[in-house]
Structure 1
């Protein structure tokens, strides 16, 4: 609304005041120059807001200016990210949902206070068309957690990639399984990229997405609770997150998709894990795969071109041993939203084809 008012003023003020400016020539010139400058700055601002609204890069001005810190506490939670607690022992989350500011009016959002991670941030949820169908009232649905790039917000998948617009017809005709789509905020530290990592004293982003968000979904929706009904998917920095989270927690996720992602955290200069050699090594998906106690039971799809994800996928595939399965696809088009948006149908078709989705439940979803 503020930008609209400014845009109107940028047009109206010169029309109303251009010929009415009084005073010496210098004063009149400066006043008219100020009006022209105001109009030009407003025009740039209007374009920026339009691009931001289309791609979901920042949620508000505070987010843009690096003031959006969503971390209340960051205790050391250990290797499993639970801090000695069991997920089953945590109290049920109490959430309220409202419509999200994205083109699809069925997307809902909630502010989640993470019981384990110490993160408080928004989470977007979209339920497939079959969810409220009486024929599916006893069915638990598979879930895909969606991670945005950096910078980015949960709206990126819904406003930029228009994931629901592309998938809903495919879910209705049975080409794609009716997944619950969940997009948590991953930009948690203002002007730094959390990298979906747990860093004691800084942020527990890994526990946020893999424990707190996951529990909220199973608490409030008919979601498959086991790993064979859960996947993660992301683009750019979100692709890095997807691979890292799935490889770190194959007990929580059975599938992952990374589009134009990377292995080395240093590929994102603002990543907090890129600045420390130990963190950089520990949060590299290739490290997680090579140093796993046993090859994880995981299916991973990697797409990209050249050094924009493809080579990194080949490195992961070369390091994989059964039952880890890694498929690498070369996709041209560049590091841009349109390239990832075009992949949405094929990516979710791939997920559907591998969905174990808790056995009989998966078969019923693909009827």
Structure 2
């Protein structure tokens, strides 16, 4: 039974009801020596406590999309085939133009909470060696005959850690919020792509490449990106691609956009951070060299010193102490053509939570409309 979704939630509630009723029905009927009766009653109370905690966990997990499967929760899932050294560009010496197209079979998303129109595929990353599910939502205009020759801009959606690829559709309701706005013209049409980011057991990859461990950067910026271009009418130039993330996903979005201006034009980071060590399970944060090299402040500063400030637009939002300072730090470093927009969120808006990020979805996509085109 899946960890997420309605069936397991209903099953956990059923167990809780049984756990509550059981002591009332059997408390005075337990037979045997006094020690046996005490142990039996303690077990009934323990069962009630465990089932109550399970129901709360399932409710929180379903609301925030933290863990997709039992493998994610228990750290037994394996999404890495190989992690060879792919070099500075993350391509391993390959030219994507010479590679065969990665044509995928898509099916309706397996969780109804994601809403209508979300489809998914299981992708084997030929460059990165990472395997995982990728969810895709197409804008209302995609199947409109008037747009049959149009290519659409794309935004990759990244969750926090721990986090599920479903979160932007399941918790933030991005597709439900944006569908009508795109249909009315209030927001430009975008293809939304949500790839798996939780690819390691009990560790945050930091969206970086670590030879021998994981090639999370190449998974997101090469394999997923190329797969979307090969399967949909998606633009293939940097001006057609953006990234958006919250919490740890905000760090990833900002870092990847600054590191790969040849692949992405814009990025949004909500309640993020620059120093990867802020996430205690971050592999990049635990490595002194990677901690510096993968800090967006360092990436931007190094590009500036090399005389090549990236043509990257960033939108950073957050409360004081929760992303705002990360944005102002980047803004102080930005040199043309780099632009950084910082939006301060009130400290009383709701904290580091899904509702705060959910409310920002329409605004950040209006902002994307200023920079991305098909």
Tell me how many residue pairs correspond in the alignment: 357
Give the TM-score, by structure 1 length.
0.94
Q: Does 1:302 align with 2:316?
A: yes
**Out of 154, 161, 167, which is 2:172 matched to?**
161
C-alpha deviations, 1:83-106, integer Å up to 9, x for none?
Answer: 110111121113222222133032
Give the TM-score, by structure 2 length.
0.92
Q: Does 1:73 align with 2:82?
A: yes
Aligned mates of 1:121, 1:13 — CA distance in 2: 42
Give 1:67 deviation, angstroms. 2.0
CA contact (8 A) 2:133 2:195 kept: yes
Q: Show the counterpart of 2:368.
A: 351
**Out of 279, 294, 302, which is 2:290 matched to?**
279
Q: Does 1:35 align with 2:44?
A: yes
**Out of 226, 232, 245, which is 2:256 matched to?**
245
Q: Show the counterpart of 2:60.
A: 51
**Out of 105, 112, 119, which is 1:108 matched to?**
119
SS in 1 for 2:136: strand
**Structure 1 range deviating more: 26-35 or 227-236:** 26-35
Aligned mates of 1:62, 1:7 — CA distance in 2: 24
Q: Does 1:9 align with 2:10?
A: no
Give 1:26 deviation, angstroms. 3.2
Q: Show the counterpart of 2:30.
A: 21
SS in 2 for 1:93: coil
Give 1:19 deviation, angstroms. 4.2
SS in 2 for 1:110: strand
**Structure 1 range deviating more: 33-42 or 234-243:** 33-42
Q: Show the counterpart of 1:193.
A: 204
Once the two structures are superposed, the pairs formed by residues 305-344 of structure 1 within 5 Å of their partners are 305-332=319-346, 333=349, 334-344=351-361
SS in 1 for 2:49: helix
Give 1:16 deviation, angstroms. 4.5
Gap runs ≥5 in structure 2: 1-7
Q: Show the counterpart of 2:213.
A: 202
CA contact (8 A) 2:239 2:371 kept: no
Give 1:14 deviation, angstroms. 3.6
Once the two structures are superposed, the pairs formed by residues 209-224 of structure 1 within 5 Å of their partners are 209-224=220-235
Aligned mates of 1:268, 1:181 — CA distance in 2: 26
Aligned mates of 1:103, 1:225 — CA distance in 2: 27
SS in 1 for 2:122: strand
Aligned mates of 1:85, 1:317 — CA distance in 2: 35
Aligned mates of 2:107, 2:116 — CA distance in 1: 10
Give 1:354 deviation, angstroms. 2.7
CA contact (8 A) 2:114 2:166 kept: no
Q: Does 1:170 align with 2:181?
A: yes
CA contact (8 A) 2:309 2:335 kept: yes
C-alpha deviations, 1:193-244, integer Å up to 9, x for none?
Answer: 0001011111100000000000110111111111111100000100000011
SS in 2 for 1:291: helix
**Structure 1 range deviating more: 117-126 or 11-20:** 11-20
SS in 2 for 1:326: strand
Give 1:50 deviation, angstroms. 1.2
CA contact (8 A) 2:265 2:371 kept: no
RMSD: 1.5
Give 1:159 deviation, angstroms. 1.4
SS in 1 for 2:194: strand
SS in 2 for 1:69: coil
Aligned mates of 2:336, 2:42 — CA distance in 1: 68
Q: Show the counterpart of 2:97.
A: 88
